[in-house]
Amino acid sequence: MSEPSKKLDQNNIKRMAELLKDGNTMLDLICPKCGSPLFRLKNQDIYCGNCQRKVVLLKDDQELDTYNKMSLLSETNDILYSKVMTVTNLIKSETDLDEQSRLIKLLYNYLLTIEKLNSIKKI
Ligand SMILES: [Zn+2]
């Protein structure tokens, strides 16, 4: 493994300059992954210009726990939406009525589950 500072290449410095120029704020915090300074974007997200990704800062274990649960719910939601798409496409090409009925029940269950997930996320 190389020193985190070695990953601060020319492109990264250029990106950091761009972030500052665009009115974002450099924080006194570093990216846990690459050691590069983090920025607070105008939309309040915390961002690493080097990794080019959003960074989530957590205060304590409880916040980490909540974050992990929310991430799981969000991932489940994405999977369910992709299933909804798949089943919808199957219904589109299905000519057998019994099979359509089976697919619609499945679709309905996916949608119900998505609705439940969304109600949990709002808590
Ligand atoms: Zn980083």
pLDDT in tens, 95-114: 999 999 999 999 999 999 99
Helix, strand, coil share of the chain (percent; to 5)? 60, 15, 25
| Range 68-76 contact pairs with CB under 8 angstroms and sequence separation of 24 or more | 70/121, 73/117, 73/120, 73/121, 74/121, 76/117
pLDDT of residue 7: 54
Residue-wise pLDDT for 2-46, tens only, equals 455 555 578 888 999 999 999 999 999 999 889 999 999 999 999
Q: How far is the CA of 27 from the centre of ligand 1 (A)?
A: 13
pLDDT of residue 11: 85
Q: How far is the CA of 72 from the centre of ligand 1 (A)?
A: 23
Q: How far is the CA of 29 from the centre of ligand 1 (A)?
A: 11
Q: How far is the CA of 32 from the centre of ligand 1 (A)?
A: 7
**pLDDT tier for residue 92 given thresholds of 50, 70 and 90:** very high
Does position 63 have pLDDT exceeding 80, yes or no? yes
**pLDDT tier for residue 91 given thresholds of 50, 70 and 90:** very high
Q: What are phi and psi of 40, to 5 degrees?
A: -100, 120
Q: Which residues surround ligand 1, an ion (CB under 5 A)?
A: 31, 33-34, 36, 48, 50-51
- Residue 122's closest CA among 5, 89, 114? 114
| Contact indicator for 79, 114 with CB cutoff of 8 Å | no
Q: How many CA atoms lie within 13 A of 105 on its CB side?
A: 6
Cα separations (Å) of 104 from 14, 86, 93?
A: 52, 12, 13
